[in-house]
Amino acid sequence: MRTTPACTFRRNLQLSLAAACLCIVASYSTLAAQPAASPAGGATVSKPLSQDEKMQWFREAKFGLFIHWGLYAVPAGTWKGQQIQGIGEWIMNRAKIPVKEYEQLAAQFNPVKFNAEEWVQLAEDAGMKYIVITSKHHDGFAMYGSKVTKYNIVDATPFKRDPLKELAAACAKHNIRLGFYYSQAQDWHEPGGAGNTWDFPPDAEKDKSGAYDQYLCGKAEPQVKELLTRYGPVCLIWFDTPRMMNVGDRAQRFIDIVHTLQPACLIDGRLGGQGDYRSMGDNRIPNEVVHEDWEVPATLNNTWGYKSYDHNWKSPEDLTFKLVDIVSKGGNYLLNVGPTAEGLIPQPSQDNLRAVGRWLKVNGEAIYGAKPTPFGEELGSLSETEKDKSGRPAFKARTDWRCTMKPGKLYVHLFKWPAGSFELPTIKEKVTRAYLLADPQRQALTVRRNGPKWSISLPQTAPDPMDSVLVLEVK
């Protein structure tokens, strides 16, 4: 176990102190958000949540807003007149910008048009149930009033406000859960942080010299504690790129911090230790149903952080298909916006998200809390002839329809409107009733048995051009 004794002693002392304070706070607030058995005298005794209880909101939510916002919104993809390839929030790395130069962006960062209420209202309009915002990204800049370093939005910019505080208040008002993205391993501002090899030695040296553990102990851990003790209930911590995290108890220390300060707070799959759910690769939707809790982080264009010239927006049709595709395979969709340096969410992002939100207003029943498809053939199959890049049989996805499920109900999502009728793959249940979710009257459609299969007659035209949901009651 490689940790510095001082680091561990200080950490345990801080944790037990913080936990002690929090126990007092928790007995008066919902911070720990744990169901409580209340013995006589009213004092609350916290009963640890089961994993199912912890995951319940996540399994119900299905759709969240990811927000990548930081100093990288100032250059917005261009450095010294050069357009820098790749994702916007990596500009410091891609352009090998020295810390001394990159730091100066803070003085130019003054997002006076930032309005937390408007951002949260957008999430609500889009039908999203949780928000995850970058509290500190790989560039090391804290997007909140951190006491651990002056390199933060309150102390280092003319803006001087704490957007996480304002977002926490707006989320509470709109009953939307708030989570924080935190880059625990990579920190290009710190000599001991991983990833900056243009100002500092290679990561392996930082590891060997103890500089990395110093960074973890001196900045990352205390900042995660700040996030879990100053912004009310936090629904999840979204760690990322777990470089050198699988050494000793580096990951376990973060798990202990989260479990001690906010036991109900989830940990994503990129800590480098045991998380509460699996994080898929960026924009990587699995081909088939995955029987565990999982989430796909995804972009609306080709970047997470704002790039002024990236207009490659995915259409509302594509976004709705992806949402349904992910839910029909058992996952959550965490869809990103990259606000500008003024604090505005690009209009195309807003428009496309609101279009998905309008669809969800009518069809949300087939998404929130839904289970994956009981079939699978509709997802596609392996090609007998074509090979993928790694020489394995290529997966040929099908996109005509998808299925989500709830007890006693199947929701068939029709992206390609069949002519006349829809034939369901064989099921052992009986289809007792069928109707279109978009039909306020829920008028019964004709259901016929066709051997082992059920066939449902459909009207001439699809009620929704993006995705028309056919509801089948079965028993």
Q: Where do contacts with ligand GLC occur on this chain (CB under 6 A)? A: 68, 87, 89-90, 240-241, 282, 297, 304
Q: Where are the alpha helices (DSSP H) in 74-196?
A: 91-94, 99-102, 105-108, 116-125, 153-156, 163-174
Q: Nearest-CB residue to ligand GLC?
A: 297
CA separation (Å) from 23 to 8, 14, 16, 253, 294? 22, 14, 10, 19, 31
Tokens of 438: 């978009």
CB-CB neighbours of 368 under 10 Å: 18
**To the nearest whole angstrom, how small is the minimum distance from the Cβ of residue 304 to ligand GLC?**
5
**To the nearest whole angstrom, how small is the minimum distance from the Cβ of residue 89 to ligand GLC?**
5
- Closest to ligand GLC by CB, 87 or 234: 87
Helix or strand or coil: residue 61? helix
Instruction: Give DSSP secondary structure letters for 238-298.
Output: EE---TTTTSTTHHHHHHHHHHHH-TT-EE-S-SSS--SSEEPPTT---SS---S-EEEEE
Helix or strand or coil: residue 393? strand
Q: Are strands 401-406 and 409-414 parallel, antiparallel or unpaired?
A: antiparallel
**To the nearest whole angstrom, how small is the minimum distance from the Cβ of residue 281 to ligand GLC?**
8
**To the nearest whole angstrom, how small is the minimum distance from the Cβ of residue 177 to ligand GLC?**
18
**To the nearest whole angstrom, how small is the minimum distance from the Cβ of residue 411 to ligand GLC?**
28
- Closest to ligand GLC by CB, 89 or 293: 89
Give CA–CA dist 130/167, Å, rounded: 12
- With 0-12 / 13-18 / 19 or more C-beta atoms within 10 angstroms meaning exposed / middle / buried, residue 104 is exposed
Q: In degrees to the nearest 10, what's the CA dihedral of 413, 414, 415, 420?
A: 180
CB-CB neighbours of 197 under 10 Å: 15
- Closest to ligand GLC by CB, 87 or 244: 87
Q: Which residues is 421 bridged to in the sheet?
A: 457
- Closest to ligand GLC by CB, 220 or 355: 220
- Closest to ligand GLC by CB, 69 or 119: 69
**To the nearest whole angstrom, how small is the minimum distance from the Cβ of residue 115 to ligand GLC?**
23
- Closest to ligand GLC by CB, 90 or 359: 90
213 membership: H or E segment, kind and range? helix 211-215
Q: Are strands 331-337 and 63-67 parallel, antiparallel or unpaired?
A: parallel
- Closest to ligand GLC by CB, 330 or 338: 338
Q: Are strands 63-67 and 468-474 parallel, antiparallel or unpaired?
A: unpaired
**To the nearest whole angstrom, how small is the minimum distance from the Cβ of residue 305 to ligand GLC?**
7
**To the nearest whole angstrom, how small is the minimum distance from the Cβ of residue 297 to ligand GLC?**
4
CB 27 within 8 A of CB 44: yes
**To the nearest whole angstrom, how small is the minimum distance from the Cβ of residue 295 to ligand GLC?**
10
- Closest to ligand GLC by CB, 60 or 282: 282
Tokens of 331: 């996952």
**To the nearest whole angstrom, how small is the minimum distance from the Cβ of residue 146 to ligand GLC?**
19
- Closest to ligand GLC by CB, 233 or 297: 297
- Closest to ligand GLC by CB, 63 or 90: 90
